[in-house]
Amino acid sequence: MKVRVASAGTGKTTSLVLRYLELIGRGTPLRRCAGVTFTRKAADELRQRVSEAVRAVLRDGSYLGGAYTLADEARPAFEEARRELDGATLTTIHGFMITGLRLVAPLLSLDPDFTVLGEWEAEALFEEELNTVLYLASEPSHGLYEAKTQLGAEAAALVLGLFGQRSLTERFLADAHPNNRALQQLFEAAYRRFEVRLGSSLLPPSEIERRALRLARSGPVVGRLIARFPYVLVDEFQDVNPLQGRFFEALEAGGANVEVVGDPKQSIYGFRNADVEVFRRALATGDVQDPLVTTRRHAPALAAFLNQMTERFADAKLGFGPDEAPAVEAHRTVPAGRAELHWVTGEDAIAKLRAFEGDLLAERLRTLHDEEGYAYGDMAVLARAYNGIAVVEEALRRAGLPVVLVQGRGYFERIEIRDLYHALRVGIDPAGLSLAAWLRSPFGRLELSDVDDVLRADDPVAWLEHHHPPVFSRLQQIRERIRGNPLDNLKFLIRERFIEVGGEKQRYVDVLASRARENVDALLFTVAEQPPGDIEVLLDRLELLSRQTDAGDVPQSGEGIEVLTVHRSKGLEWPVVAVYDAGRMDYHPPQPLYLNPDNDHVYHRDSEGFEAARKTILERERQESYRLLYVAASRARDVLVVTGSVKNDKPNGWADALIRSGLGDASARNRVAQVFRHSYTPERSRPDAALSVDTIRPAPWIDKRFAVYPHPPVQSPSRFKQDRAAEAEDEIFTISDPDAGESLPGRGTTVGTLVHYAISQNWRHDNPTHIDNLRAQEVMFPFGAAQQDELLGEVTTLLSHYETMLGDTLPSLQDRDADFPELPMALPVGATVWQGIVDRLYRVGDVWYLDDYKTDRVVAPSSYAFQMAVYLKAVRAARGVTPQVRLVYLRAREVVGLEPAHLDAVFDEALEPN
């Protein structure tokens, strides 16, 4: 295997294009070459570049000023290549594997027209088979009974976790520890059923890899693939996972000419199972070509900065080694370029330092625009995490700078999209669950107190007609129009002038900000491209998408500073790049099991090898974080601005690495970057302005401020937990994988909703009428009959657990002197009203009980401490009693008591100002 290292900006794709030209010129038909890369976008770019190169050679006789020159005898070969361009195999890794599998499908007992499943669909199918295995294993006579019993209630979650890592190894291994053996046995049993379920016509991504590996290792079969594609050129080889790497190694061993190019310094997709060790294995065993060392992207000063960074990081073994970090030479001479490092220092809360850092960055970009002439459209701000995007975006907008959000999170959860969803819903069912949200939206425009009055009425629609005629009129218009073509329905809601504001009729889009209007326009385009058959299908699609985490805001149009994560910036470049929040610490959330990549063994948290496997994974993630810094820094062409917050003179993350290496130390000699320190104090909460305002007379009200409260007017404990997690210094709840979404949206929520409702109604698991009533609940509508049966099976199991607990660990219903299920609560604290639903409050004799039912698979009481603290405060305030606070875990049939004194401390600590 030929292997070449190509650092950022040195022309990896160009080298592959030149290799294509060489092969064509030597007589290899284009149809016999397969070009393979990591993403569809990169594959499309490679196809375009090869097409342009072939046409340029035929038109001009050369390519890139003589990098390749056409020989007269090779012209017929290039003419043939031009005719084959449209059908050339230039695709992704999975695309190439699929091509190979279809080519030899009958030999592998596959249907040549097999369907490629999405990963979330595959996980849903696997979960069904796993649940079947666990159900059957409940019988003591079953062979997996001991394995299921060994893992207990967490068995399903653990095995599903393994399923998501199956691209890391051909087979999960386990030592003699009973938990590890149980994991292996349950996974293999479920996976065998899963493979039978897929049959010969369904293949998800990881199973494509496994089948392709089987193909590559079968001599008679792989010969057909190699005869079709004797040359395989692979770009971005640093991003392949272990199974993909073994596939290409097997192709090479079978006789294919496999040539790979990549950059270990840019291997940043560990969360997608990419493994840089695959590239390193190729470097150790392959035919290593001279590295590409001329960068056409970077200005000389930036090239010098990157050279020094990679050299010092490599010497310190931070992310990559010396053979992976060759020095590069800048092809450009002007502008000279520069790198700036700005550290914000102080002793205040890290969130305040980061806000100041964002303002500092905004002023620095303004100066680059005003004094050096860089257009805002030539700038980008890269953040390490999605919550950093929100902070820096707010700072840029506060400074009045134009911002273009390249990719955010939660597009289908945006308020404007949910407004339209609820408007469609009330058009179908005006008294349904969406009515409250619609009444508060721009369509209804009612205050919270008015909404409460409407919802408390026996007939909400009649109440609306009598007390709020204009709102009722709008509701009636929507009810009359929402039918038939979903696209027409959306157009009506968005563009019809029927919302009365100040005596004038306005359209929905008239009340939206620019970004929200762009999001709404994008929704119209999406529906127009894939029009659903009816309105219910559209609503189901919107609800499903709202629960997936990989759907971000639409890329905005217009000129402005582009804001995105470092991962999203891969393959892009700008004249000016700012890297925000370099002081963010690395955090690895605790996991219940680990797969040790050194031996493919699975280790449960209770097993002896768990800690060693955890340390291996932690070290790999730490190393990848330094490679992520290289990717961020190498996106800049002329100017690189890095900012970071350093609390108490203790740098973390990238800031720590840069300072320790000497690059970010203002006192170090022979620096290739300008280093600045900016002290933060409460009196200096904003950086010095770049523009003078001495000639402006301040308005008399300039020093007046609206009161700023620590929390919104209305807040729930769960929302508070999310908000605090986003600002927390330890980053406990940071999502490391921006593309990971809930595999089967709504499943867990549906089970929890049905169980809570049934318990509140005192329904029994063995009453057919009660179960039929649960089947008729609205949350069941998105599911088919078979899925509903499966969900109800789980619900009845949990209800039966609850019934067995009554009279044992829970007081029986007959013994209760007062009983209040599903009790709404509202607790005013300062300027905020905390609201929620208490599952059950009841009294037995002189003792009050506050029970909260949990359908969780894992018993983790600390997760709910703040929620229960709020409920306890509310009950005390309303009734003057201190109940026994308990979490009732229905799966484990376990009741966990929480001490009131502890909950009071949790409440006080959580609401303590920063």
Give the model's confidence band at 670: pLDDT under 50 very low, under 70 low, under 90 confident, else very high.
low
| Mean pLDDT of the 250-267 span | 95
Q: What is the pLDDT of residue 79?
A: 96
Q: Which of 65-79, 99-113, 348-362, 404-418 has the lowest mean pLDDT?
A: 404-418
CB-based burial, 169-201: b 16+ in 10 Å, e otherwise:
beebebeebbbbbbbbbbbbbbbebbeeebeee
Residue recorded with tokens 């059923």? 193
Q: Is 623 helix (H, G, I), strand (E, B) or coil?
A: helix
Instruction: Using alpha carbons, list the distances in angstroms from residue 160 to 38, 168, 854, 892.
Output: 26, 15, 20, 19
Digit-coded pLDDT (tens) for 128-144? 999 999 999 999 999 99
Rounded distance, CA 889 to CA 866, Å?
17
CB 574 within 8 A of CB 581: no
Q: 34 pairs with which residues across the strands? A: 89, 232
Looking at residue 745, the DSSP 8-state letter turns out to be T
User: Could you tell me the two tokens for 242?
Assistant: 């272990």
CB 263 within 8 A of CB 12: yes
Residue recorded with tokens 């070509």? 289
Digit-coded pLDDT (tens) for 428-475? 888 888 898 899 898 988 888 888 899 889 899 999 999 999 999 999
Q: What is the pLDDT of residue 590?
A: 84
User: What single string gives the DSSP state of each residue in 458-480?
Assistant: SSHHHHHHHH-HHHHHHHHHHHH
Looking at residue 55, the DSSP 8-state letter turns out to be H
Q: Which of 353-367, 600-614, 739-753 has the lowest mean pLDDT?
A: 739-753
| Mean pLDDT of the 168-195 span | 96
How does strand 894-898 pair with strand 884-889? antiparallel
pLDDT at 555 over 60: no
Instruction: Using alpha carbons, list the distances in angstroms from residue 622 to 277, 618, 736.
Output: 15, 6, 13
Rounded distance, CA 373 to CA 361, Å?
17
Rounded distance, CA 368 to CA 370, Å?
6
Which residues have C-beta within 8 Å of that of residue 389, sequence separation ≥ 6? 383, 405, 408, 563, 564, 565
| Mean pLDDT of the 501-513 span | 82
Does 891 or 521 have the greater pLDDT score? 891
What number of other Cβ atoms are within 10 A of residue 700's Cβ? 7
CB 136 within 8 A of CB 253: no
Q: What is the pLDDT of residue 533?
A: 65
Average pLDDT, the chain: 87
Instruction: Using alpha carbons, list the distances in angstroms from residue 136 to 133, 143, 190, 325.
Output: 5, 9, 11, 54
pLDDT at 510 over 70: yes
Residue recorded with tokens 């983790």? 860
Rounded distance, CA 242 to CA 31, Å?
28
Q: Which of 248-262, 335-349, 767-781 has the lowest mean pLDDT?
A: 767-781
| Mean pLDDT of the 779-786 span | 83
CB-based burial, 284-294: b 16+ in 10 Å, e otherwise:
eebeeeebbee
Give the model's confidence band at 654: pLDDT under 50 very low, under 70 low, under 90 confident, else very high.
very high
Q: What is the pLDDT of residue 238?
A: 94
Q: 828 pairs with which residues across the strands? A: 833
Q: What is the pLDDT of residue 413?
A: 66
The fraction of the chain above a pLDDT of 70, given in percent, is: 89
pLDDT at 597 over 70: yes
Q: What is the pLDDT of residue 430?
A: 87
Q: 234 pairs with which residues across the strands? A: 36, 260
Rounded distance, CA 541 to CA 537, Å?
6
Digit-coded pLDDT (tens) for 32-41? 999 999 888 7
Rounded distance, CA 646 to CA 632, Å?
19
Measured in whole angstroms, the distance separating CA 686 from the mean position of its chain's CA atoms is 32
Q: 897 pairs with which residues across the strands? A: 886
Q: What angle do helix axes 865-879 and 717-727 make, rounded to 10 degrees?
A: 140
Q: What is the pLDDT of residue 489?
A: 85
Which residues have C-beta within 8 Å of that of residue 266, sequence separation ≥ 6? 8, 238, 570, 627, 630, 631, 634
pLDDT at 525 over 90: no
Q: What is the pLDDT of residue 320?
A: 95
Digit-coded pLDDT (tens) for 184-213? 999 999 999 999 999 999 999 999 999 999
Report the sign of the C-alpha dihedral through residues 759, 760, 764, 769, in that order: negative
Phi–psi pair at 844, nearest 5 degrees: -125, 110
Q: What is the pLDDT of residue 732?
A: 35
Phi–psi pair at 603, nearest 5 degrees: -130, 120
Instruction: Using alpha carbons, list the distances in angstroms from residue 346 to 578, 698, 724.
Output: 21, 30, 21
What number of other Cβ atoms are within 10 A of residue 46's Cβ? 22
Rounded distance, CA 56 to CA 70, Å?
10
| Mean pLDDT of the 853-870 span | 89
Rounded distance, CA 350 to CA 647, Å?
7
Q: Is 823 helix (H, G, I), strand (E, B) or coil?
A: strand
Q: What is the pLDDT of residue 541?
A: 61
| Mean pLDDT of the 764-783 span | 88
Q: What is the pLDDT of residue 162?
A: 95
Q: Which of 89-103, 626-640, 673-687, 708-722 has the lowest mean pLDDT?
A: 708-722
Q: Is 172 helix (H, G, I), strand (E, B) or coil?
A: coil
Which residues have C-beta within 8 Å of that of residue 639, sequence separation ≥ 6? 302, 337, 338, 339, 340, 368, 374, 575, 576, 577
Q: What is the pLDDT of residue 215?
A: 95
Q: Which of 136-140, 695-699, 769-773 has the lowest mean pLDDT?
A: 695-699
Digit-coded pLDDT (tens) for 43-97? 888 999 999 999 999 999 999 989 999 999 999 999 999 999 988 999 999 999 9
Rounded distance, CA 809 to CA 888, Å?
9
Cis check: omega of the bond before 811, within 30 degrees of 0: no
Instruction: Using alpha carbons, list the distances in angstroms from residue 398 to 230, 355, 395.
Output: 57, 11, 5
Rounded distance, CA 40 to CA 512, Å?
34
Report which listed range, 342-346, 444-448, 480-484, is most confident: 342-346
Burial category of 816 from C-beta neighbours within 10 Å (exposed 0-12, middle 13-18, buried 19 and up) = middle
Measured in whole angstroms, the distance separating CA 418 from the mean position of its chain's CA atoms is 20
Digit-coded pLDDT (tens) for 393-431? 899 999 999 988 775 445 566 788 888 888 888 888 888
User: Could you tell me the two tokens for 31?
Assistant: 């149809």
Residue recorded with tokens 């559209």? 538
